[in-house]
Structure 1
Amino acid sequence: MSRTRLTGIDAARGVALLGMMSTHIFPLYNPETGAPTLVALLFSGRASALFAVVAGIGIALLTGGADPGSARSPARNRRGIAARAGVIALIGLLLGGLETSIAIILFHYAVLFLMVLPFTNMRLPRLAVWAGAWVCLSPVLAYLMRPWINANLVPPGVDGNITWEHFLEPVPLLADVLFTGVYPTVQWMSYLLIGMVIGRLQLTSLPVQAGLVFVGIFTAVGAKFLSWYLLIDAGGFAELLKTESGQTWPIGRMLEVNLTGVDQSGSWWWLTVSAPHSGTTFDLLHTAGTAAAVVGICLLLTWARPNLLLPLSAAGAITLTLYSVHIWVMAMVQAQEPALDPGWVFWPQAAAAVLIGIAFVRLGSRGPLETIASGASRLARDGTLAENRR
């Protein structure tokens, strides 16, 4: 693996996997005080954003990396990515039928793969312009569309995870995927575009890796600071408290942890928050900044010793399989009465993910679901299941 992959990218994906697992298992609020927990403050919104940014990096690497002109024909690449998206969507639909409170990302993830297809052959300057515009404008579009959707569609989205049954109501399904779901793809497209911008850089260069760390931290901190200034010093938070959601929800606490399920309408000041899963420009910049910093750190640590972060990179190389197994396990765990201690649920799963990942790396094999997705991609792209080793 060390000779054929950027193991730092796999390690970053491993961080995202374990971070998402922790938010699925540990409480996000202290049940006694209502204060955000450490897991919430570290990983809520950031882990899933890292997962999406790394997906964009992977697409960029699949389509030529820093030199997209060196890749196969754009049409063949797009066919391969579309086929991979189809497999991921199918897995997401199968997992969606499980009884679980976890918001499964895979179907939305697959839709993002399809949405990014027109950008796969773009070079860095043009791609950067698109990414910047998307980060700034997609939250405004979502803010304008959500009230119209809520007023005109019944239901305005999907209740729970997406399953085959929801295709019988295509309009609410489309609204959920694009605007009203936990992972609204119109805004989340920003993460894939930012990831593709990162993937178009010379990621083996130490200055580029260090630059990702510094620019990522500066962006993340700057977005939080500017959001805080607008909410506190400029009076935005007081205006939010006057809205219906501000009078219904404990907004002060939720701004630190998660705004999923909160109707962000009634005031343009909602666009100034940087809360996890708020989908605003400040949220996208903060979480994308933390993702870039994590990617840069992982690349720096593995620059001289590719297997230094083997526990993370091994798990990160087969995240589709490990994530799917995690959802299946959690469906069984959440059915248990009384509820199991979160520590006894998380640490065995984390250890198993690491050990299984290392075992597959040592065997020189992909994970089972990765093998299926890769095979479908090659079949659509090259017309054969045989791997092209050129």
Structure 2
Amino acid sequence: MTARGMSPDSRARGRTAIKSRSGTVGSAPGARLSGVDAARGLALLGMMATHVLPLYGTDAQLTPTWVGLVFSGRASALFAVLAGVGLALSTGKQQPLDGASLWAARRGVAFRALVVAAIGLSLGGLEVNIAIILVHYAVMFLCILPFLGLGPKRLLVFAAAWVVAAPALAFMLRPWLLSPTPPLQLGHNPGWEDLTTPAQLLGDLFLTGYYPVFQWMTYLLIGLAIGRLALAKASVPVLLVAAGTVVAVLSKWLGVVMMEDWGGREALQAQLSDPAYPLESVLQVNLTGVQQTGSGWWLAVSSPHSGATLDLLHTSGVAAAVLGICLLLGRLGDWVELDLLLPLRGAGALTLSLYTAHLCLMAALNSQPLPAGWTVELVYWMQVAAALLIGGIFARQAWRGPLEWAAHSANQLGRYQPARFS
């Protein structure tokens, strides 16, 4: 059982900072956007780690590895939050679009979502032990369309309500969706053939699958609210780091207290009948594969990929803090006139292409013995080096990745508004 996936529709706008006469980065807005792409690059590397490196040890207790403890659930959540940030930056930043411009932006997002969905459905046929997020990601983009015209305060209100209500509603609905024969759950990555069973596909995408859109909408709402803030101001990244850290620590602490001190672990242990999932380990790393039914204590966990309120709060807090740190590093690069984030932000601007290439490579290596002398650690670091090298070159040349170009073209097509003659 592994923590798989990401949320990778990288937008190339803003991938290069404004240059001064000396050729160095020289503006706060450029630093802001480079910080967003750098955070996306970090999420890409974290996602790749969960796909390549083991999340558990080989002992009978499945002791979590450092990769499982650090990246599981957090890398993919960071991508989803950054997706919301990117949507805000492309739809008015601090001043949400309205009227015809807003409707044009919604069409653009919808067209881009269709391209991402097509890529995801095509990749669904790969023989790979990775949960591919692209189709879920595209559906989230479609679901967020009604919220694109809102400001940060209203978005935070919706996010707060969503983070509380969505996990409880999902907990009540999942048993009903899993009760039919066959259950409304795919058990594999969505592919083109699944369009012939729409009920099963929709059930999996929204509630029973690896990235349940119904709960994951929280991330996009929070990201959209963050993107509506004045990210160019130095105080906002500091606020993101401080607030994100507090939320992440408190939510994780409360989850531990409810499990260890209030009796949650004992109650869940009585519900968990599959010995393949040691409760202590999965609570730390990944609850995917565990049927979270039969006890309301499942709603009190802060475990990665549980979709519970504390999990959503913790991973959102981590995402906000990471974004704040990357924004501050971007400002530091301005100050010292050195683009400190070039390779990382370059990779972050190419995540759709790099993610797809990573999946194809992992599919080629799937069930195949590694060449003599190779280790999974070597495979991972080779991919990291390639991603940073390619990202740095593309960022330096201000190039757009091939799949980013396709998504951007679809967005521009959707936004097109014919000239009106009076």
The amino acid of 1:20's aligned partner reads M
Shift of 1:32: 3.3
Residue from 337, 344, 349 that aligns with 1:312: 344
Q: Which residue pairs with 2:123 in the alignment?
A: 95
Take 1:181 and 1:144, find their aligned partners in 2: how far apart are those partners?
A: 15
CA contact (8 A) 1:245 1:264 kept: no
Moved more, 305-314 or 262-271: 305-314
TM-aligned CA distance change 1:164 to 1:69, over 3 Å = closer
Aligned residues of 1:16 and 1:51 also touching (Cα < 8 A): yes
Note if contact 2:64-2:281 (Cα within 8 Å) is conserved in structure 1: yes
Q: Structure 1 pair 383/365, CA: closer, same or farther in 2 (3 Å)? A: farther
Query: 2:313 is matched with which residue?
Result: 285
* Worse-superposed segment, 335-344 or 208-217: 335-344
User: Secondary structure at 1:325's aligned position in 2?
Assistant: helix
CA 360–72 in structure 1, closer or farther in 2 if over 3 Å, else same? farther
Which residue, out of 197, 207, 219, partners 1:179? 207
Q: CA deviation at 1:74?
A: 1.0
TM-score w.r.t. the length of structure 2 is: 0.88
Query: Contact 1:30 / 1:36 at 8 angstroms: preserved in 2?
Result: yes
User: Which of residues 368, 374, 390 is equivalent to 1:336?
Assistant: 368
User: What CA distance in whole angstroms lies between the structure 1 residues aligned with 2:106 and 2:286?
Assistant: 34
1:244–1:266 Cα contact (<8 Å) kept: no
CA–CA distance in 1 between the matches of 2:266 and 2:187?
31
Structure 1: segments with no counterpart, 5+ residues: 385-390
Q: 1 CA distance for matches of 2:268 and 2:367?
A: 37
- Residue in 2 that maps onto 1:387: none
Q: Distance in 2 between matches of 1:10 and 1:144?
A: 37
Alignment of 1:194-273 (within 5 A): 194-245=222-273, 249-273=277-301
Q: 1:121 to 1:351 in 2, by over 3 A?
A: same
Q: Quick check: 1:378 aligned with 2:405?
A: no
Q: Give the corresponding residue for 1:68.
A: 96
Residue matched to 1:388: none
- What is the count of residue pairs matched by the alignment? 384
CA offset at residue 236 of structure 1? 1.2
Counterpart residue number, 1:160: 188
Asked if structure 1 preserves the Cα contact closer than 8 Å seen for 2:272 and 2:279, the reply is: no
Kindly indicate whether residue 133 of structure 2 is the aligned counterpart of residue 133 of structure 1.
no
- TM-aligned CA deviation for residue 273 of structure 1: 0.4
Aligned mates of 1:71, 1:285 — CA distance in 2: 33
Query: In 1, are the aligned partners of 2:113 and 2:141 still within 8 Å (CA)?
Result: yes
Partner of 1:2: 17
Q: Once the 2 structures are TM-superposed, how far is the Cα of residue 133 of structure 1 from its aligned partner? A: 0.5
SS at match of 1:261: coil
Partner residue, 1:325? 357
Residues 177 and 35 of structure 1: is their aligned pair in 2 closer, same or farther, counting only changes over 3 Å? Answer: same
1:70-127 Cα deviation digits (max 9, x unpaired)? 8971110000000110110011111111110100011100000000000000111111
Aligned-partner residue type, residue 405 of structure 2: T
> Per the alignment, do residues 16 and 245 of structure 1 end up closer, same or farther by CA in structure 2, a change over 3 Å counting?
farther
**SS of the counterpart of 2:79?**
helix
Q: SS of the residue aligned with 2:177?
A: helix
Give SS of 2:94's match: coil
Q: CA deviation at 1:364?
A: 1.4
What is the TM-score of this pair, normalised by structure 1? 0.95
Query: How far apart, in 1, do the equivalents of 2:388 and 2:332 lie?
Result: 22
**Alpha-carbon distance in structure 2 between the residues aligned to 1:32 and 1:304:** 44
Query: Deviations 1:284-330 (Å, cap 9, x if unpaired)?
Result: 00000000000000000111425211121110011100000000011
For 2:67 and 2:194, locate their aligned partners in 1 and report how far apart those are by CA, in whole Å. 32
* 1:27 counterpart = 2:54: yes
Equivalent positions of 1:44-83 (< 5 A) are: 44-69=72-97, 73-83=101-111
Alpha-carbon shift at residue 338 of structure 1 (Å)? 5.3
Paired amino acid for 2:42: V
Aligned equivalents of 1:103, 1:24: Cα separation in 2 = 9
Cα distance in 2 between the residues matched to 1:353 and 1:335: 23
Amino acid at match of 2:203: A
Question: Residue 152 of structure 1: CA displacement?
Answer: 2.6
SS in 2 for 1:68: coil
CA contact under 8 A between 1:259 and 1:275: conserved in structure 2?
yes
| Within-5 A mapping of 1:141-156 | 141-156=169-184
Q: Deviations 1:340-360 (Å, cap 9, x if unpaired)?
A: 521121111111111111111
Q: Describe the SS at the equivalent of 2:129.
A: coil
Structure 1 outlier segments of 4+, above 6 Å: none
Q: Is the 8 A contact 1:12 1:295 kept in 2?
A: yes
Question: Could you tell me how far 1:249 is from its partner in structure 2?
Answer: 2.9
